[in-house]
Amino acid sequence: MQQLVQIRGRGAAQNPKNRFEQAEYVPDLEAVDDDEPGPRTQFLRDHTRGIISRNDSPDIPFETSVNPYRGCEHGCIYCFARPTHEYLGFSAGLDFETRILVKHEAPELLRKELASPKWTGQPIAMSGVTDPYQPVERRLGITRACLEVLAEFRNPVAMVTKNHLVTRDIDLLGELAAHQAAVVNLSVTTLNEKLQRVMEPRASTPARRLEAVRRLAEAGIPVRVLVAPVMPGLTDHEMPAIIAAAAEAGATAASYIPLRLPHGLKGLFEDWLQTHFPDRRDKVLNRIREMRGGKLYDSEWGTRMRGEGLFADQYEALFGAACRKHGLVRDFPPLSSAGFRRPHDRAGQMGLFG
């Protein structure tokens, strides 16, 4: 296997072939200049006319979600969402982290959908696919604008992120949490900052994520730490330490998901291992196969989120013991829709009194 030239600040080192396309661009790796800057991020307008996505998978814990961005500049090499970029005509590799589609109209679209009589105030996940707090959110503020709409309607929301930027919105999340209508799920994959830098190059450091857990918890916002993904032979030994650190920071719940490698993600992850951990490559891949019925990925419902076999059973036992030791539960109480309201309806009723 030819070792690729890693691009500073990027998770992937190349753009593999889109599985839906016939043509393929193959770069001349021998001609690559190590000092040449990597591709700059492009932000493209997404003209979607609907913002709430619906999910019917039995092993996903939410039915509706909002994704302000498609693609993610965090560049996490393991991200299960990478293959979704292929539906847009892009690659799951560098394209996923350098060609970001932005839904500028998301707040207005969300307001319209929440105001519909058909909407009953069910919980929404942000995001179901890519991170709502990726770097460009600091400048664009689309996620915050969506949260402002959710707070106005008191619609329950579950945030999913690995970025300290979530603390910027403690005011809105706290307002919703007062009505049992907000939780934050914060991913902590490793406590090793050196590993994190090459695995998640533009995400917050482990220390910053734990600081975010602490600040959210101090504000009364329930926090669950996601030990996800757990990478066999690479990060699995850290599970007890991550749970201990999460509990010390104020998290009240935790969950884990073993690494998943759908579609073209398999090749990307293999190349990344060969570049950064060639001595562990075979061990990691063989352990994944042992958990996935001899394959690098198994899409079967019921097992894809846990795996099978000896290592999967060991993870379950290790995780359960660590949670019991540190007093963490796996699930929060259900989010409440009791406070849901339609502000325009209230204004109209007041208008009856002049």
- Beta-strand pair 52-54/64-66: antiparallel
Q: Rounded CA gap, 18 and 39, in Å?
A: 18
> How high is the pLDDT of residue 55?
83
Question: Distance between CA atoms of 113 and 150, rounded to whole angstroms?
Answer: 11
Residue 23 pLDDT > 60, yes or no? no
Q: For residue range 112-132, what is the model confidence (pLDDT) as tens digits?
A: 999 999 999 999 999 888 999
Round to the nearest angstrom and report the end-to-end CA distance of the chain: 76
pLDDT band at 299 (very low <50, low <70, confident <90, very high): confident
Q: Which long-range contacts (CB under 8 A, 24 or more apart) does 339-347 make?
A: 339/154, 339/179, 339/180, 339/181, 340/120, 340/121, 340/153, 340/154, 340/155, 340/156, 341/153, 341/154, 342/114, 342/115, 342/153, 343/152, 343/153, 344/115
**How far from 304 is each of 126, 300, 308, 312, CA to CA, in Å?**
22, 6, 9, 11
Give dist(CA 181, CA 152) in Å, integer.
Answer: 12
List the single range of 109-123, 233-247, 287-301 with lowest mean pLDDT: 287-301
User: Percentage of residues in the chain with pLDDT exceeding 70?
Assistant: 90
pLDDT of residue 33: 44
Q: DSSP secondary-structure letter at 247?
A: H
Write out the H or E segment, with its range, that includes residue 257: strand 253-258
Task: Using the Cα atoms of residue 283, residue 287, residue 289 and residue 294 in order, give the sign of their dihedral.
Answer: positive
Task: Indicate if the pLDDT at residue 64 is higher than 60.
Answer: yes
Amino acid 31: pLDDT: 41
The residues pairing with 253 across neighbouring beta strands, listed in sequence order, are 224, 329
The backbone torsions φ and ψ at residue 182, rounded to the nearest 5 degrees and listed phi first, read: -155, 135
CB-based burial label for 349 (10 Å; 0-12, 13-18, 19+): exposed
Q: Which residue has the tokens 């036992």?
A: 317
Q: Given this model, what pLDDT does residue 4 score?
A: 67
Give the per-residue pLDDT at 351: 37
- The strand order across the sheet containing 64-66 reads 52-54, 64-66, 124-126, 157-161, 182-187, 223-230, 253-258
Among 16-25, 86-95, 155-164, name the most confident range: 155-164
Residue 136, pLDDT score: 97
Q: For residue 131, what pLDDT is reported?
A: 97
Assess whether pLDDT exceeds 50 at residue 267: yes
Cα–Cα distance for residue pair 82/70, rounded to 1 Å: 10
- Find the range with the poorest average confidence among 22-36, 84-98, 147-161, 202-216: 22-36
- The phi, psi pair for 22, rounded to 5°, reads -85, -40
Q: How far is the C-alpha of 99 from the C-alpha of 91, rounded, in Å?
A: 10
Give the integer Cα–Cα distance in Å for 113 and 111: 6
Q: Which domains does the chain have, with CATH numbers?
A: 29-331 (3.20.20.70)
Phi, psi of 29 (to 5 degrees): -65, -30
CB 297 within 8 A of CB 260: yes
Let me know: does 68 contact 128? Beta carbons within 8 Å.
no
Which tokens sit at 166?
Answer: 């979530």
Q: For residues 266 and 54, what is the distance between their CA atoms, to the nearest angstrom?
A: 26
Closest by alpha carbon to 17, among 272, 266, 269, 264? 264
pLDDT at 326 over 60: yes
pLDDT of amino acid 60: 74
What is the model's pLDDT at position 354?
35
Q: In this model, does residue 142 exceed pLDDT 50?
A: yes
- Strand-pairing partners, residue 139, are none
pLDDT, average across residues 148-162: 98
Q: What is the DSSP letter of 80?
A: T
Whether residue 283 has pLDDT greater than 50:
yes
pLDDT band of residue 39 (cuts 50, 70, 90) is confident
| Residue 346 pLDDT > 60 | no
Find where tokens 């040449």 sit: 36
Rounded to two decimals, the pTM is 0.89
